[in-house]
Amino acid sequence: MDSSAVYPRPMLKQLPAYQSGQPPVETPGLTPYKLASNENPYAPVPQALEAMTAAVTAEVVQRYPETTYLKLRELISQTYEVPVDDVTVGAGSLGILTGLVQTFAGTNDDGSQDEVIIPWRSFEAYPIVIRSAGAKDVQVPLRPDSTMDLEAMLAAITDRTRMIMLCTPNNPTGTIASTSALRAFIQQVPEHILVAIDAAYLEFVRHDDVDNYLELYREFPNVAVLRTFSKAHGLANMRVGYSIATPQISLPLKVVVPAFATSSVGVEAAHASLMHLDDVLANTEKVVTERARVWQAFRELGYNPPVSEANFVWLPLGELAQAFSEACDAQALSVRAFHPEGVRVSVGELEANDRVIQVATDFAPRLQR
Ligand SMILES: *Cc1c(COP(=O)(O)O)cnc(C)c1O
């Protein structure tokens, strides 16, 4: 080792690099579209933009925000009928998730690592957050139908397990676990293990047996539900997310989540957006309609997509994943390839969806049937 240089903790060698969705390749004559990051194709509600504009004054931006984000927490508390103290606001739900892992899992004094069970494939950020906290991610493969294998996740519990991540709808497959399936699952999880339900795409779910998973938080003191303003509310760049969890989780979490984690400008936008939740949900309806159209097209072409309850569709293309993604690039569309497993295609603008269906049509002869 070169003793004259700084060096990162050895654990960093084990971290996968986070691959963010890439911008589309520019092609003359084609409007480029990004279908790679599950962003909302529709603008935030106008009141959110107005609230932000109003919040950008010298007096506001030269000061730190009110650290507990009480105004937004009170609105969340009223909207979802939960105690205000059970709500923690942070820099996106990823900020909250990072805080949760740092609070509940890491490396112990004897060098042993706590274990965090995650479904896999799932949100790429999970292994990075868990490993950088010094804990160990235990990856439980999805079932062949791309849903979380809850039985296998139960079987993966050991004396070292401190936390279980559930992602529903799951990124990148769009599949969900129903409330009753999760209830049956959590009933069998020892109460000292934190169960974190990442529901980033909840507003896009149209399933009879999913409300908002808050009934599970009400039934089980070891459950935290994570939500975000990044997806349905169309405020990804504002970095506002939150968790709802009982005090045994929320109190230590609030110690770890950094003070001033997010800006009051973004929080004002989130507040205004939540005040107009009906309009936000009306926008999700448009995405859901397009999701059905895109999914149906992929299905008829033989791509075998699992039913999606999110704002994206998963194509289990295996070894063809990279080639499909390149075919999209050539048409000024960026999608997210997870080679050699599949490709995640976000539901976007009408024209973008039309074009990805055209790419899929042209590519279809390469599928093995
Ligand atoms: C997009 C996404 C989030 C949201 O992250 P933010 O930090 O709130 O922007 C969280 N979880 C999953 C699974 C996601 O796909």
Beta bridge partners of 337: 343
Residues 37 and 76 in one domain: no
Distance (Å, whole) CA 267 – CA 5: 40
Instruction: Specify the DSSP element, H or E, that contains 178.
Output: none
Hey, what amino acid is at 179? T
Least confident of 24-33, 40-49, 291-300: 24-33
104: exposed, middle or buried (Cβ count in 10 Å: 0-12, 13-18, 19+): buried
Residue 241 Cα to ligand 1 midpoint, Å, equals 9
Q: Whose CA is nearest to atom 11 of ligand 1?
A: 200
127 touches ligand 1 (CB under 6 Å): no
Domain range enclosing 37: 19-44+278-366
Residues 185 and 298 in one domain: no
Residues 130 and 240 in one domain: yes
Residues 132 and 225 in one domain: yes
Residue 21 Cα to ligand 1 midpoint, Å, equals 13
What predicted TM-score, i.e. pTM, was given to this entire model?
0.96
Residue 363 Cα to ligand 1 midpoint, Å, equals 30
In a domain, 349, yes or no: yes
- Note the pLDDT tens digit of each residue in 149-170: 999 999 999 999 999 999 999 9
Residues 39 and 87 in one domain: no
- Note the pLDDT tens digit of each residue in 175-234: 999 999 999 999 999 999 999 999 999 999 999 999 999 999 999 999 999 999 999 999
Above 90 in pLDDT, residue 93? yes
In a domain, 1, yes or no: no
The domain tally of the chain equals 2
CATH code of the domain in which 248 resides: 3.40.640.10
Q: Which of 34, 130, 175, 228 to mutate to test the pocket of ligand 1 (most atoms within 8 A of CB)?
A: 228
- Note the pLDDT tens digit of each residue in 136-149: 999 999 999 999 99
Residues 27 and 89 in one domain: no
Distance (Å, whole) CA 45 – CA 275: 10
Q: What is the pLDDT of residue 16?
A: 78
- Please report the atom of ligand 1 found closest to the CA of residue 96: 7
Final residue in a domain of this structure, among 215, 249, 275: 275
Cα separations in angstroms, 191 against 91, 162, 181: 28, 10, 17
